Structure 1
Amino acid sequence: MCQHQPLCPSAESADRESARLVAHHPEQGWSLLCNGVLLFEDTGELLPDGRIIAPRRPLDGAQVMTAA
């Protein structure tokens, strides 16, 4: 699928989110990456084979770090 050099990481790779953007729709909360991954604003993902990667959210507000 990817025509970039070097090739973007595959949808199965651990660093799949570093693939290049093909389409970005912040008003709708999603982006399509070159490797076919739909990346959602809440950090959830939909892989090309239909698998869902759940959002990675902090467990509670105490674990959220903020800039000082």
Structure 2
Amino acid sequence: MCQHDPACPPYDHLDREAARLVASHPEQGWSLLCNGVVVFEDTGELLPDGGVIAPHRPTDIRTAA
């Protein structure tokens, strides 16, 4: 999918989120990267092969009182 040089990391590499942004829809909570990955605001991802990456943002951090 990537047409520029240097090419973005493929969707199946660990650094896939470093790909260039193609479309952004913050009002809907998602963005499309040039490697075909759809990234959601909760940090979940949908891969072009249909695979899913569960959200990986820490949500249970406690603050000191």
Q: TM-score, normalised on structure 2?
A: 0.90
* Larger helix share, 1 or 2: 1
| 1:22 corresponding residue in structure 2 | 22
CA-CA distance at 1:58 after TM superposition: 1.7
Per-residue deviation at 1:45? 0.1
Q: How many residues align?
A: 63
4+ residue runs over 2 A deviation: none
How far does residue 59 in structure 1 lie from its aligned partner after superposition?
5.4
- Cα distance between partner residues in 1 of 2:26 and 2:12: 24
Deviations 1:19-66 (A, max 9, x none): 00110000000000000000000000000000000001325222x7xx
Aligned-partner Cα distance in 2 for 1:12–1:61: 29
Where in structure 2 are there 5+ consecutive unaligned residues?
none
Distance of 1:7 and 1:40 partners within structure 2: 22
* Residues 1:38 and 2:38 are matched in the alignment: yes
